[in-house]
Every structure is written in C-alpha cells, then in structure tokens.
Amino acid sequence: MRARCRYLLLAVLMGPWHAAAAGDTLRVDSHVLVVGDTATRVIELLGKPVYREPINNEYGAWRGERWQYSRDGHVITVTVLGGKVANIDDRRS
C-alpha cells in the first residue's frame, strides 16, 4: 500500500512536467528565444502567430497578448507583456 501511495504521489508531482515545458527559453533552430526578448525577436524567430489572444487585467484594461504557434508537432504559446516576452510555454500537440 505504501509503495502505491508513493507512486501515485510521484505521478501527480511529475505529471505537469511531462505535459508541458513552460520556462525561460525556447530553442528555434540554431537560435534561442528567452524571456525578456522583444516581440520583434519573437517574430524574427517564429514568424507571425497563428492565433493571438488578448490579456486583460481585472478591470478589463489591455495588458498584453498570448501568441500561439504550431511548430514540429508542438504548440508554442508566447506571452508578450509590454512588448517583451514574459513566458514561453511549449506543449506537444
């Protein structure tokens, strides 16, 4: 019983790491996109996004956008706030 609980706990803790990789960097061919890069750099490396989603604050004011790309069987979501990359999320589609 104890081993089963440990396995279940490990699966719960490891689950999000297998599902997605959100972080500070993304390798694009021989280049690297990092949090803090400009929106222009994102477009240089990945092109125009397939989908753009506005991000609003709790009062409805515009804060930024989430840009979505489809690349090599992955869905890449780049969060752009104030013209800079705030987050990079890379998931298998």
Give the pLDDT confidence of 42-85 residue by residue, as tens digits: 999 999 999 999 999 999 999 999 999 999 999 999 999 999 99
pLDDT for 17 beyond 60:
no
Global pTM reads 0.75
DSSP-assigned beta bridge partners for residue 85: 80
Q: Which pLDDT score is estimated for 93?
A: 85
d(CA 86, CA 66): 10
Domains of the chain and CATH, by start:
21-92 (3.30.1450.10)
Token pair listed for 41? 């750099």
Amino acid identity of 77? Answer: T
d(CA 20, CA 38): 23
